[in-house]
Amino acid sequence: MGITNYTIVTLGSHSALQILKGAKDEGFKTAVVVTPQRIPLYKSYNNFIDEILEVKSWTDFPKLEKELLKRNSIIIPHGSFVAYLGMDQNKNMKVSYFGNKQVLDWEENRKMQREWMEKAGIKVPHRFRKGDKIDRAVIVKSYGAAGGKGYFTARNQKEFDEKLRSYNEERFMVQEYVVGVPVYFHFFYSPLTKKVELMSIDKRYETNVDSLGRIPAKNQEGLNIEPSFEVVANIPMAIRESLMAEAISMAERVIETSKKLISPKGLFGPFCLETIITSTEEIYTIEISARIVAGTNCFIDGSPYTYLLYDEPMSTGRRIAREIKNAVKINKLKEVLD
């Protein structure tokens, strides 16, 4: 079958516009699944979205299964998939899915993620287990891709104990707070070429932590402001070239390790290493996202890094479609689908 027989589908949220624009640029049919209030937004991009499939709520998504199968659909997962559909619903869908669904378990569970990174020889912030003495500043994180929701920081044991009393999350991890700057590296691993590509880099714009410096500390006194980390937007970055080699090597180790841990295919397609870089240029990875991240939306027409690899605008969304197209051409589509 040629590529015009396939429809690239995703949920109307997160990075859907980038994914569908890229799919259209590569020659695929495109469809978006949306809830009613978002129809006007996606309708306004009918230059690259062929079809809008409506669901009353995200939980109705599996009801579309027949329709999606009829269209030879390929679902492209993004950050909203597990968050909106839940793990089981997502896994049970029979529609073709770009990626390895087994990776979802490793991504969702912070402990498994940590094991993966440690085995890959990647620096991770110290983790405090239940009962450990908190001897430095910590950040407490809930599980799951919550976009920084439900986090808090504490300077010491006393503050930690106090804040924990009014904390509503059941599952969380306590991490050393790494002082440095956040840098999010976006990669793409092709199982066809066996190469890791650095696609782009962003930092997040988080409320309210990124704004605290606007008021001097002395004016903040008494206001009782707690830092929070909810992401509002993403800001493009170009990193010191001397840091690129280590970042790419880290990504390659993450992929190699995934082939052993998450057999047989491991992680492939887009992923992100979310890091904090300290003043001694140590790169700590605070999290890995095993899918397209929203920071890639800064680069719908390509990034400085994709320009080094491609003589045309190449977003991560378009790169996904390109991979599917290449796989179709050489009759290896099964290798990139689950």
Ramachandran bin of 132, using left for φ above 0, alpha for ψ from -120 to 50, beta for the remaining angles = beta
Rounded least distance, CB 169 to ligand AMP, Å: 7
CB-nearer residue toward ligand AMP: 139 or 254: 139
Rounded least distance, CB 36 to ligand AMP, Å: 30
Ramachandran bin of 302, using left for φ above 0, alpha for ψ from -120 to 50, beta for the remaining angles = left
H or E, element range at 252: helix 241-261
Residue 217 burial (10 A CB sphere; 0-12, 13-18, 19+): exposed
Q: Which strands form 269-277's sheet, in the order they lie side by side?
A: 229-236, 195-208, 181-190, 269-277, 283-289
Residues 6+ apart with CB under 8 A from 269: 98, 99, 188, 189, 291, 292, 320, 323, 336
Rounded least distance, CB 208 to ligand AMP, Å: 11
CB-nearer residue toward ligand AMP: 178 or 247: 178
Rounded least distance, CB 138 to ligand AMP, Å: 8
Rounded least distance, CB 137 to ligand AMP, Å: 8
For residue 285, how many other CB atoms are within 10 A of its CB? 21
Rounded least distance, CB 153 to ligand AMP, Å: 8
Residues 6+ apart with CB under 8 A from 233: 204, 205
CB-nearer residue toward ligand AMP: 71 or 110: 110
Closest residue by Cα to residue 77 from 54, 118, 113, 107: 107
CB-nearer residue toward ligand AMP: 176 or 197: 176
DSSP string, 68-89: HHHTTEEE--BTHHHHHH-HHH
CB-nearer residue toward ligand AMP: 12 or 150: 150
CB-nearer residue toward ligand AMP: 132 or 301: 132
Bridge partners of 271, per DSSP, are 187
Residues 6+ apart with CB under 8 A from 322: 22, 26, 314
Rounded least distance, CB 267 to ligand AMP, Å: 18
* Binding footprint of ligand AMP on the chain (CB under 6 A): 111, 125, 128-130, 132, 139, 141, 148, 151, 170-172, 174-178, 182, 204, 206, 229, 274, 276, 286-287
CB-nearer residue toward ligand AMP: 75 or 103: 103
The SS3 of residue 270 is strand
In degrees and rounded to multiples of 5, residue 14 shows phi and psi of 65, -85
CB-nearer residue toward ligand AMP: 157 or 190: 157
Rounded least distance, CB 244 to ligand AMP, Å: 20
Are 33 and 10 in contact, with CB atoms under 8 Å apart? yes
